[in-house]
Amino acid sequence: MSDVVRVGIIICHRYHTCAGGKCFRAFENREGAFDVYENRDAKIVSYTTCDGCPGGNVEYAPEEMKKNGVEVVHLATGMVVGYPPCPRISHFKRYIEERYGLRVVVGTHPIPQKYYDMHSRLGTWKSAFWQEIIKPTLADERIRIAYN
């Protein structure tokens, strides 16, 4: 195996037409949850959706990802910022880690400011659980605004 970290991304199916621009920009800039690769050689080798609620593709896609060398699966920021946020995030993370032995990171690009503002007003992320979930993608206000 090479020193290159091979990354797969699973996005929320609500955003199935997303071209991935924010995720790919954040990966290139090593922002948001991709800052963990700041000093690492890494590349994205897989990108798919969860296949819609309740996330049937999460059961099978990681197997294909692993066959193609994926070592880390990122559950996209869209799963966190959507209305409502995905209620299955912790289940997806645990399942992929247990079933496929892959590391799972919740988040990709930084949370856009407009989503941060709305979820703050709604109180969506007040709990300790959600505070931990959003930590990798929170960033500072300047970066959040850049991802609006």
Q: What is the pLDDT of residues 50-103, one digit of tens each?
A: 999 999 999 999 999 999 999 999 999 999 999 999 999 999 999 999 999 999
Of 55, 41, 45, 42, nearest to 13 by C-alpha is 55
* Annotated domain spans of the chain: 5-146
Given a contact cutoff of 8 angstroms between Cβ atoms, the answer to whether 109 and 31 are in contact is yes
CATH class belonging to 5-146 = alpha beta
Angstrom distance (rounded) from CA 30 to CA 37:
6
Q: Is the pLDDT of residue 6 over 90?
A: yes
